[in-house]
């Protein structure tokens, strides 16, 4: 855990003793407005303890912290791996802030808070080599991602009308291949015909995708999201 050097920070030890099996550290950070209690947890993928045991320990730590520092804000963050999100929320009475994948399709890196003081959450590409992304929560105005990469991607826009016109043509299409041509030449001929049909009914378009977009947001989905505000305005 790293704390800005202008802030006073100290490690908080659980009164019941720190258990060596849990990779958990609590730090009390003093600011001009109020204290912030930050817990950093690494839950290993290969378990050496039962999930219920670490959840019970987390609950005991949070109870002790809130009793000792009733006016302080509390944040729990880290790599939770297989530790269930709903279990953490119910056992520890915390609010989850991360709803975007941070490692592939999984939400492994999470931040939990007692009070929803952070209005903005960003999941961005890590500045170092890692398969995990960086999660940033903050209460100020919207921040600009400095290391965001942009890329122009090609996709084919489609609609029910395009499908109808395409099927109307192909239902009457007859492709005749010369009997004296070799297999490769006939294959190339069919491939050219199919490509021309795609370009005719589903012409290629370009759209910009960024590293901040989820991997689930394909160029086609991104184009639909761009059109959504305009459609919403027309509906209103």
Domain limits, the chain: 8-138, 150-235
List, for residues 47-79, the tens digit of each pLDDT value. Answer: 888 999 999 999 999 999 999 999 999 999 999
List, for residues 182-225, the tens digit of each pLDDT value. Answer: 999 999 999 999 999 999 999 998 888 877 676 677 888 888 87
Position 146 confidence tier, pLDDT thresholds 50, 70, 90: low
pLDDT of residue 41: 95
List, for residues 11-35, the tens digit of each pLDDT value. Answer: 999 987 767 789 999 999 998 888 9
Is the pLDDT reported for residue 148 higher than 80?
Answer: no
Q: What is the mean pLDDT of the chain?
A: 86
Instruction: Give, in words, the CATH class of 8-138.
Output: alpha beta
pLDDT of residue 76: 96
pLDDT of residue 234: 45
% of the chain with per-residue pLDDT over 70: 91
What angle (nearest 5°) sits at the alpha carbon of residue 83, between those of residues 55 and 46?
Answer: 105
pLDDT of residue 162: 92
Distance from C-alpha of 120 to C-alpha of 118, rounded to nearest angstrom: 6
Tokens of 1: 């855990």
Is the pLDDT reported for residue 232 higher than 60?
Answer: no
Residue with the larger pLDDT of the pair 235 and 30: 30
Is the pLDDT reported for residue 144 higher than 70?
Answer: no
pLDDT of residue 159: 87
Tokens of 96: 């989850």
């Amino acid at each position: 855990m790293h704390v800005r050097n202008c802030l006073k920070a100290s490690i908080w030890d659980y009164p019941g003793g720190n258990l060596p099996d849990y990779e958990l550290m609590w730090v009390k950070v003093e600011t001009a407005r109020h204290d912030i209690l930050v817990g950093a947890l690494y839950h290993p993928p290969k378990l050496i303890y039962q999930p219920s045991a670490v959840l019970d320990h987390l609950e005991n730590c949070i109870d002790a912290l809130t009793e000792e520092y009733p006016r302080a804000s509390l944040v729990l963050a880290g790599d939770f791996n297989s530790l269930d999100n709903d279990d953490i929320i119910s056992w520890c009475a915390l609010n989850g802030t991360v709803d975007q994948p941070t490692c592939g399709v999984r939400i492994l890196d999470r931040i939990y808070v007692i009070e929803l003081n952070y209005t903005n959450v960003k999941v961005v590409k890590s500045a170092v080599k890692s398969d995990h992304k960086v999660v940033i929560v903050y209460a100020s105005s919207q921040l600009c991602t400095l290391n965001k990469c942009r890329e122009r991607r090609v996709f084919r826009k489609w609609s029910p009308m395009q499908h109808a016109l395409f099927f109307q043509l192909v239902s009457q299409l007859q492709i005749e291949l010369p009997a004296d041509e070799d297999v490769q030449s006939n294959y190339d001929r069919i491939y050219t015909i199919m490509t021309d049909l795609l370009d005719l009914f589903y012409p290629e378009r370009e759209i910009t995708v960024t590293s901040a977009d989820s991997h689930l947001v394909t160029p086609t989905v991104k184009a639909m999201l761009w059109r959504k505000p305009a459609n919403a305005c027309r509906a209103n």
